Structure 1
Amino acid sequence: MTINNEIQISFDDIENVELNTPNTISISMEDINAYEPKQVDAVINPEDIPKEEEKVELNCLLCHYPILEGESWVKCNKCGSSYHTDCWRVKNSCIQRDCNSHRVIPQDPIT
């Protein structure tokens, strides 16, 4: 049986491994059926899980002030930068480095 590079098996856990070429190995079906992967316990810090009620604050790339609830705002169609609609009208192009897009996607007011 040939196993590709996507499967990771510790050779310390398997007997009778034959190396065929640099990219393939042969393992007996008996060893494969007997193999039991080691369980890894994931550690999740509860503080890293975002709370639903927390709102992400968006800042306008031009004026650097937050885009507040109910304010009209747009997002650059190329890089995704956020602007107050009035700030976008000042330049009519994205000021993000190496972007310079002249098109935006209108966004619903933040609630």
Structure 2
Amino acid sequence: MEAVLIKELKRAMAAELSRDMSVKLRIAKRNVARKGYLASGSAVYGLRRHVVDQSGRVHGVLEAGERKVSSRYRVVLAPGPKAEVETVTRIFRLYVLTGLRPGGIAALLNGEG
């Protein structure tokens, strides 16, 4: 009986610790994002993740799945290769200026190869 109570107490303490850590992590990610840095995740087509120091100097580009090496560095999104940026700009213009729907844009681009 005593062992069961101790086990339940430990579970409750672990759950409380997990909730506290979750709140702290959420706040930390929000603060990082407010400062203009990427809090987590990957870059979408047309963008790349750059590792920067506190002064904003770029120290490298992170490929998919890579992580920064130190907590003193931050990650920002930056324009990717010119061809990708031009494609994204074209997609935006097709959608806004011609009213072409996403499916039509995809068909057009796929038809071009």
Please say whether Structure 1 and Structure 2 have the same fold, judged by a TM-score greater than 0.5: no
More helix by share: 2
Structure number with greater Rg is 1
